[in-house]
Structure 1
């Protein structure tokens, strides 16, 4: 039985001690302090992991026609398991950062644009779920990466999942 310190987990130094996502990570930030992707750190990646993939969603997004439908704000694939996290403001900067970051690919969010995009909220209290998947093989989703394509491709290849929920 693994104890808590051994479990595959996801954390963020950017989320405050109350579990809140600060404004600068959303569309409500000001100027350059707006739509910055939050820093993420992970621990205890499962043995045998070849690549990591991340999906971040607003799980309290209301659908005008009825039930809550998760709204995808970030999809990231091809994260080398040797990395310990993604720095603040990583979205859109892979090529500048180079090295282990260079082959990471950002997929399209539900705004149909690649990268991190956190909407301006009509109300507060939305939960944002960050889910990191440890995968046993590399995945090639072609040119256009989406959450749906990712989830289909990783079926049967997930060695572990780490989840972090922040409240906005």
Structure 2
């Protein structure tokens, strides 16, 4: 049995010790300290991993007209497993980064734009789920990447899944 230190896991140095997502990562931040993508780090990526995919959702997003529907904040695909994480403020700057970052692609959030979209949260206590998928293949999703496309494409290719939940 694997012990916790060998486990594929996801963390964020941006989340405080109470597990809270600071305001600067949401649409409720102030000025330039607003809608910054949070830093994420991962550990113990499964051996056969070719690429990683990250999906972040506000799972308590209220839809006034219906049931709770998760709000997609961030979709990032084709992250090389050689990377140990993504730095704070990575979103929207992937073109500026060469090397290991060159094939990374950000998909559309539920604001219908690529990159991190920290929602404006009407009430506190929302849970943000960060899910990192270790995949045995690269994703070829065309120009417009969405969570739904990613979920369809990774079917049968997931070697491991790491979950991190933060509260705002």
TM-score by length of 1: 0.98
Listed one character per residue, the Cα deviations across residues 109-149 of structure 1 (whole Å, up to 9, x for unaligned) are 01100000111111010000000000001110001000000
Q: CA deviation at 1:103?
A: 1.4
Q: Report the number of matched residues.
A: 168
1:87-166 to 2 correspondences below 5 Å:
87-166=87-166
Distance 2:140 2:97 in 1: 22
Distance 2:18 2:144 in 1: 36
State which drifts further: 15-24 or 61-70. Answer: 61-70
Unpaired runs of 5+ in structure 1?
Answer: none
Distance 1:41 1:102 in 2: 18
Distance 2:62 2:30 in 1: 25
Unpaired runs of 5+ in structure 2?
Answer: none
Listed one character per residue, the Cα deviations across residues 33-68 of structure 1 (whole Å, up to 9, x for unaligned) are 110000000000001000000000000011112211
Distance 2:34 2:64 in 1: 26
TM-score by length of 2: 0.98
Q: CA deviation at 1:97?
A: 2.1
Q: CA deviation at 1:17?
A: 0.2
Distance 2:59 2:150 in 1: 18
Distance 1:65 1:113 in 2: 23
CA RMSD between the two structures: 0.6
